[in-house]
C-alpha cells in the first residue's frame, strides 16, 4: 500500500496561463484532500488569491536578487533556493513542478541540495513545443525531463512530442486536465447576458493570453465572417502581445463596434457561462484548457485541429475542428452551430457531459494523488 505524501510543494507559473491555472486548481484540491500544500512562485498564482487559510495552502514568494554584475535575475536559482527553504523548514517530501524549465530544473536542484524531496514534473506544452525546443534550452529541458522522478503530460499528443523532440524514452504518464463543473456552469441570469448582447445576437467568445500561437487575428477573421451573416458580438478575454493587432484588425474589418476586449480576469466562468460559441484557432495547443472550461459551461467549440485539441473537443460532437488558419471553414462551422438550435443544444450538452465524466476532478485528481504516492514510494 503506497501512501500519499503529507506535504507537497508546487512550483508553477503564476500568470493567467493554463499551466498555472491547472497547478493552482490541483493544489487546492490536494489541500482539500487533507494535504499540506506549499505554492512556490514569483507572485501569488492567478487563481489562488482568496483561497488561503491558516492551515494552507501556503504561498512562498521567490525573491529576485538585483546585483550590478548580474544582467538577469536568475529565476531558476532563486526558485531552487526558496524551494530548498520550504523543504527544510516544512518537511516537504514531494515537489510537483509544472513546466520543465525553470521549475523542474529548480526542483532537481533543490533535491540535490537537500538530499530530500522527490520531483514530479508535469509537462504542459509550450515548455516542450516552443521554449524547450529552442536550442538555447534544449539540453537543460531534456535533463529536467530525464532526471525528474516521475513525469506526466497533459495529453497523448504532448507525451509523443516530448519523446520526439528530446529523444527521451522514459515513461511519461498522460493525465488530462480537468475542470470544476460546479464553477464552470451555464449562467442563466438574463441580466448578465444583457450586459454584452441583445437576446437575438449570438455571443462569441475567445479566452487566451494573446500570444502568437493563439492566432487571435483568426478569431477576428472568423468573427467578421459570422457577423456578416447573423447578428453577433465578440468578447475577447485575456491580454498579451497580439492584442493590439487583433484590435486593429477588428477596426479594419468593420467589427470593432461588435467586439469588446475585456482584458484578463480570473472568473472567466461568468462570461463563458453566457456565451454561445467558443473560438480556439491556435496553431498548437497541447490540450486547450480554455476550450474544456467552455464545454463545461455548455458552449460548443470551434477550434483548429492542432496538437492535443482533438483529445478534448470531439469533432462533430462537442464542436467542430478545422485546419489551422482555415478561417472560412471555421466560420462555416460556427454558422452551422449558431443557426441550428438543436445542434447548438446537443453540442453544448455533449460538452458538459464530457466535462463531467472524462474531465471531472473526481476522475483526474486521484490519478495525480496516486502518481504522488508512487513518486515518493520510489525514493
Ligand atoms: O497556452 C498558453 O499560452 C499557456 C500555456 C501554459 O503553459 O500556461 O498553456 C499550456 O498549458 C495548458 C494547461 O495544461 C494547456 O491547456 C495549453 O494547451 C498549453 N498551451 C499550449 O500548448 C500552447
CATH C-level class of 7-178+360-377: alpha beta
**What's the pLDDT at 16?**
75
Distance CA 301, CA 294 (A): 7
Under the banding of pLDDT at 50, 70 and 90, the label for residue 200 is very high
Q: Is the pTM of this model over 0.90?
A: yes
The pLDDT tens digits for 98-128 are 998 899 999 999 999 999 999 999 999 887 7
> Does the pLDDT value for residue 2 go beyond 80?
no
Angstrom distances, CA of residue 203 to CA of 189, 226, 264, 290, 303:
15, 11, 18, 16, 16
| Cβ–Cβ under 8 Å, residues 359 and 179 | yes
DSSP letter (8 states) at residue 103: I
The pLDDT tens digits for 6-29 are 999 999 998 878 999 999 999 999
> How far apart are the CA of 285 and the centre of ligand 1, in A?
6
- CATH 3.30.450.40 corresponds to the domain 190-356: no
Q: What is the number of the ligand 1 atom nearest to the C-alpha of 290?
A: 16
Give the residue, 84 or 70, on which the prediction is more confident. Answer: 84
What is the percentage of the chain residues whose pLDDT exceeds 90? 82
Q: Please give the ipTM for the structure prediction.
A: 0.96
**What's the pLDDT at 132?**
66
DSSP letter (8 states) at residue 214: G
> How far apart are the CA of 99 and the centre of ligand 1, in A?
10
Domain residue extents for the chain: 7-178+360-377, 190-356
> How far apart are the CA of 20 and the centre of ligand 1, in A?
9
Give the residue, 64 or 5, on which the prediction is more confident. Answer: 5
Q: If you take atom 2 of ligand 1, which residue's CA is the nearest one?
A: 17
Ligand 1 pocket at CB < 6 A:
13, 17-20, 22, 124-126, 154, 177, 209, 211, 213, 284-289
- In our burial notation (b when 16+ CB lie closer than 10 A, e otherwise), range 315-326 reads eeebbbbbebeb
Question: What number of other Cβ atoms are within 10 A of residue 66's Cβ?
Answer: 7
The pLDDT tens digits for 161-190 are 999 988 999 999 999 999 999 999 999 989
Average pLDDT of the chain is: 94
DSSP string, 118-145: EEEEEE-SHIIIIITTSTTTHHHHHHHH
Q: What is the number of the ligand 1 atom nearest to the C-alpha of 17?
A: 8
Q: If you take atom 20 of ligand 1, which residue's CA is the nearest one?
A: 285
Under the banding of pLDDT at 50, 70 and 90, the label for residue 53 is confident
Q: What is the number of the ligand 1 atom nearest to the C-alpha of 155?
A: 14
**What's the pLDDT at 266?**
81
Report the largest interatomic distance among the alpha carbons of the chain, rounded to a whole angstrom.
65
Q: What is the number of the ligand 1 atom nearest to the C-alpha of 158?
A: 22
The pLDDT tens digits for 54-65 are 677 999 999 877
Say whether 190-356 and 7-178+360-377 share the same fold: yes
Ligand 1 pocket test, pick from 285, 301, 309 with the greatest ligand atom count within 8 Å of Cβ, gives 285
**What's the pLDDT at 379?**
60
> How far apart are the CA of 353 and the centre of ligand 1, in A?
23
> How far apart are the CA of 350 and the centre of ligand 1, in A?
23
> Does the pLDDT value for residue 159 go beyond 90?
yes
The top-scoring range by mean pLDDT among 122-131, 134-143, 252-261 is: 252-261
> How far apart are the CA of 67 and the centre of ligand 1, in A?
33
Q: If you take atom 21 of ligand 1, which residue's CA is the nearest one?
A: 285
328 three-state secondary structure: helix
The pLDDT tens digits for 300-354 are 999 999 999 999 999 999 999 999 999 999 999 999 999 999 999 999 999 999 9
**What's the pLDDT at 1?**
58
Closest CA to 96 of 74, 67, 127, 117: 117
> Does the pLDDT value for residue 209 go beyond 80?
yes
- Ramachandran angles phi, psi of 96, nearest 5°: -100, 110
H helix runs in the chain, sequence order = 18-32, 75-90, 105-114, 126, 138-147, 156-166, 190-194, 216-227, 243-252, 269-272, 289-296, 309-312, 327-339, 341-356, 361-377
Ligand 1 pocket test, pick from 11, 12, 15, 18 with the greatest ligand atom count within 8 Å of Cβ, gives 18
Give the residue, 369 or 101, on which the prediction is more confident. Answer: 369
> How far apart are the CA of 345 and the centre of ligand 1, in A?
28
Q: If you take atom 9 of ligand 1, which residue's CA is the nearest one?
A: 18
Amino acid at each position: 500500500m503506497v501512501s500519499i505524501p503529507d506535504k507537497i510543494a508546487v512550483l508553477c507559473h503564476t500568470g493567467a496561463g493554463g499551466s498555472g491555472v491547472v497547478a493552482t486548481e490541483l493544489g487546492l484540491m490536494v489541500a482539500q484532500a487533507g494535504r499540506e500544500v506549499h505554492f512556490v512562485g514569483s507572485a501569488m498564482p492567478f487563481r489562488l488569491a482568496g483561497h488561503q487559510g491558516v492551515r494552507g495552502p501556503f504561498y512562498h514568494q521567490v525573491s529576485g536578487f538585483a546585483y550590478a554584475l548580474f544582467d538577469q535575475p536568475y529565476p531558476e536559482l532563486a526558485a531552487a533556493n526558496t524551494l530548498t527553504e520550504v523543504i527544510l523548514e516544512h518537511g516537504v517530501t514531494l515537489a510537483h513542478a509544472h513546466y520543465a524549465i525553470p521549475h523542474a530544473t529548480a526542483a532537481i536542484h533543490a533535491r540535490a541540495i537537500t538530499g530530500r524531496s522527490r520531483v514530479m514534473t508535469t509537462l504542459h506544452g509550450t515548455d516542450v513545443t516552443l521554449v524547450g525546443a529552442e536550442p538555447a534550452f534544449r539540453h537543460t529541458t531534456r535533463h529536467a525531463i530525464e532526471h525528474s522522478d516521475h513525469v506526466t503530460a497533459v495529453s497523448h499528443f504532448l507525451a509523443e512530442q516530448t519523446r520526439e523532440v528530446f529523444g527521451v524514452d522514459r515513461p511519461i504518464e498522460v493525465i488530462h486536465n480537468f475542470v470544476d463543473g460546479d464553477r464552470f456552469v451555464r449562467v442563466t441570469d438574463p441580466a448578465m447576458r444583457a450586459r454584452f448582447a441583445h437576446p437575438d445576437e449570438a455571443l462569441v467568445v475567445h479566452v487566451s493570453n494573446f500570444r502568437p500561437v493563439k492566432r487571435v487575428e483568426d478569431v477576428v477573421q472568423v468573427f467578421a465572417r459570422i457577423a456578416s451573416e447573423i447578428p453577433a458580438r465578440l468578447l475577447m478575454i485575456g491580454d498579451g502581445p497580439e492584442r493590439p493587432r487583433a484590435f486593429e484588425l477588428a477596426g479594419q474589418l468593420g467589427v470593432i463596434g461588435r467586439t469588446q476586449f475585456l482584458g484578463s480576469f480570473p472568473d472567466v466562468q461568468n462570461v463563458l457561462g453566457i456565451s454561445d460559441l467558443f473560438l480556439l484557432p491556435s496553431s498548437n495547443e497541447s490540450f486547450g484548457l480554455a476550450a474544456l472550461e467552455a464545454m463545461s459551461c455548455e458552449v460548443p467549440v470551434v477550434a483548429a485541429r492542432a496538437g492535443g485539441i482533438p483529445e478534448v473537443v470531439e469533432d462533430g460532437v462537442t464542436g467542430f475542428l478545422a485546419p489551422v488558419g482555415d478561417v472560412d471553414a471555421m466560420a462555416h462551422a460556427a454558422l452551422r452551430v449558431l443557426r441550428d438550435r438543436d445542434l447548438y443544444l446537443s453540442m453544448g450538452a455533449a460538452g458538459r457531459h464530457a466535462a463531467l465524466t472524462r474531465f471531472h476532478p473526481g476522475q483526474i485528481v486521484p490519478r495525480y494523488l496516486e502518481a504522488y504516492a508512487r513518486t515518493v514510494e520510489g525514493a
